[in-house]
Structure 1
């Protein structure tokens, strides 16, 4: 959404997901080593494959069968040490000039520097849809599971069951999506020293060769087999309708906020004539992300029985937060539903509780303060464990004997722009686009802040010894 007023009733959600993998049969049965002149080897009675690269050649394998839709899982242990210049892959591809392809590519690096996970989608031969990530672990120390889910709804890439990116089927908007061409599953290791590591500045150190990656637990049990123009999807086809639930969206958002290095959907220098159309559709459904994300927070910090909740609010603009204000509430938020609202328009952001404004963040771009206005956002809700900091600075830990901890939400209302054309939005019945806190609202906000505010970053001179943020002094 591009500006909105959103409210919901909250009855101060514990969601857990258990991910398990049922692995496929045997590499002897499932794949063929297709190139490498002996550098690819099936080991341990068909349970492990090693792929090696030296100065003469890399190596690779592909699935024996073709598949039209599926969930493809592979455990991989990457090349340790100085792997600069190498690329280790796991991907699905149709082949041919107008091929469809979904890529996991692991770009090696010098010793001590992390791998970069490079992902891409090709549809009818057109790619240029790259996302790059750091990983939150060392992928050379142990095996980790990398998964591609491809169904008629979306393509989702997972790492150890955690979603890292989604590509939705937006054919209704005239955008291409792979739906008709069967794929093989491929894996390989090869030399890409011209571009793989620091843009090609760091070359492959062939004295470290051979470079060897290991693959195991290849799972094809949730994939439709293509044979003579027909598909056999087996009995378990739940994955055919799988998409991300709320918790998965939150997890994906965490990954992209903390580990996303490059997103083609934000590269305006590369796409001078406008971002690809799927980027606009995609960002209407996700909060802005990456190192320059925008975010507006209501967070309710739990406490011991009998002690009040703390309402923690924050505003991020262009990746910069540190604008916390905290409040106690003038009621018990666990006894009944109450309305929590965020107003976001070009002039200001206002937080409300039951219609009473708690705080206002004004647009101060005129004095150089960033204000969220160019990135579409999605509305999220969640409950999660923050015992390291949430209650009394982490001194009071979560009592798991009281689990599960459940919150209830109702009467969600989102009156917002779903187009980047805010002028068109303002012409509609959108009085909130021009709404500001009136004099009576200012009095109510002063009452709330005088009686219930327990922390204000704008008064924390110890935290900001070089001077308070500029938006504070201008209030």
Structure 2
């Protein structure tokens, strides 16, 4: 299983080179690299009957989408390039995008931003070779392929834009390391002991989605930033060692709590829609309560003119001194960006709002919104990118949510007294009903049973003491620099007696 984090600096003009990362092996594990050069890296076994798993990013003309080219070789035979894809975003701008390859004994899955794009299953029972016996090296490369790369070779490399440069970093490996044939039994022993079983037999869930856990645990990035010179396409390949939390079923996991039929569970429990009209909104809550955990939801927000509406995904306990962790999505006029409104209550006190624009249209497709809550901090994520961190500041006298179990909630409701432009724009009820869609709810947390608080807090879950690594901190700073539009910690007019204590502590 190979974990790869890349930053590839690409420009605005003609890109006709191919950067590739090729995997060829059965040495499962996780790997990553730190280097910055125009270079070649790949994973390959050797000889005419080698195995190989390819990710290739084919350069383009300015304005054209990048093409993602995939291939799988087994026993020296490839010709499985039938699956090529245009990327649905501009990979040369903004944040690094998360790209993954997950290999198990059951399948090989290629994914972009947590969305699987190709699944090559193990069909040995039907006589189809599957890569499983040959250990591999990891390779990557940046090379000229203008005989085929762009528009079938019709467009040639623009050498006046050279040199083209790719940069790599954070190469790590968590794998069965092959040093001699005798190592086969050692890897097998480690696998049979359960050390790697969590991914060894994993497949896609019933909705054909990778768990959001993969996007977070397998920090595989492909970053292409504009520069003054042309660059080539970029690449990666990764086989992720991930603790996969499979998406649940809404029939089993939640209760619809209000809305008089406006909330509907569809697709055998895999999809839940909330609707809002002039008379009522709707909402649901998790059946379980949790003390700490990692919570994810895929949401597609209300499209079109959604001014005045608020869709939510949040955690909350009960009572006047409740704790609460809020993600609220404030509707907009058509063409305006959505606002993500975050807040955190401790012992009944909130007033900790931070707001952000989203860097994509959240109404076109589902995106993953997450909350990590552990004893050290609360982190809000969008598509695996942290947008806000609230640290445990108890040593500085700042209350922190740590003793009240919380449920997960979601709702769609009317808030046109404040939601859009401070309440200046009202809900246009001629556009009703408004609908938001939810799917792939996952809660990897300590379930509260009214007597298990102590054992829950001492759990061994991977998220329990998880911190933001340097890459995540870079992404957090990028979001806050470019997309934060309100921060209570800088609103001195609102707090004339002094900013809240946590603002000074941070």
Per the normalisation by structure 2, the TM-score is: 0.52
Give the Å deviation of 1:25: 2.1
What is the CA distance between 1:123 and its match in structure 2? 0.4
Of residues 395, 400, 418, the one that matches 1:177 is 400
Does residue 402 of structure 2 align to residue 202 of structure 1? no
CA distance in 2, matches of 1:165, 1:15: 23
The 3-state SS of whatever aligns with 2:170 is coil
The offset of 1:15, in angstroms, is 2.6
Matched, 1:245 2:499: no
Which residue of the partner structure matches residue 502 of structure 2? 278
In 2, distance between residues paired with 1:274 and 1:235?
Answer: 38
Whole-angstrom distance in 2 between the partners of 1:123 and 1:179: 9
For 1:382-397, what aligned pairs fall within 5 Å after superposition? Answer: none
- Output aligned runs, 1:425-444, within 5 Å: none
Secondary structure at the counterpart of residue 252 of structure 2: helix
CA contact (8 A) 1:130 1:264 kept: yes
The equivalent residue for 2:284 is 61
Aligned positions of 1:176-325 closer than 5 A = 176-220=399-443, 222-231=444-453, 237-282=461-506
8 Å contact from structure 2 (residues 446, 459) kept in 1: no
Runs of 5+ unmatched residues, structure 2: 1-34, 37-167, 172-216, 220-241
**Within 5 Å, which residues of 2 pair with 1:368-379?**
none
Could you report, residue by residue, the CA deviation over 1:39-77 in whole angstroms, capped at 9, with x for unpaired residues?
Answer: 001000000000000000000000001100000000000
Count of residue correspondences: 272
How do 1:47-196 residues align onto structure 2 when only pairs under 5 Å count? 47-196=270-419
2:275, 2:412 within 8 Å by CA — same for their partners in 1? yes
Provide, for residues 155-201 of structure 1, a one-character-per-residue CA deviation record: whole Å limited to 9, x for no partner: 00000000000000011111100110000100000000111011111
1:327-342 residue pairs with structure 2 within 5 A? none
Task: Find the partner of 2:169 among 3, 7, 14.
Answer: 14
Indicate if the aligned counterparts of 1:92 and 1:102 stay in contact, CA closer than 8 A: yes
Q: Structure 1 CA distance, aligned partners of 2:402 and 2:247? A: 24
Matching residue of 2:264? 41
Does structure 2 retain, via aligned residues, the 8 Å contact 1:23–1:218? no
Q: Distance in 2 between matches of 1:184 and 1:257?
A: 32
Quick one: distance in 1 between partners of 2:473 and 2:248? 32
Counterpart CA distance in 2 for 1:114 and 1:44 is 30
Answer yes or no: is the 8 Å Cα contact 1:90–1:185 preserved in 2: yes
Query: Shift of the alpha carbon at 1:235?
Result: 7.7
* TM-score normalised by L of structure 1: 0.55
Larger RCO of the pair (alpha carbons < 8 Å, separation 6+) = 1
Deviations 1:11-36 (A, max 9, x none): 98813762576333210000000000
RMSD between superposed Cα atoms in Å: 1.9
| Residues in 1 aligned to 2:317 and 2:412: alpha-carbon distance in whole angstroms | 19
Q: Which runs of 5+ in 1 are unaligned?
A: 1-10, 283-475
Larger Rg: 1
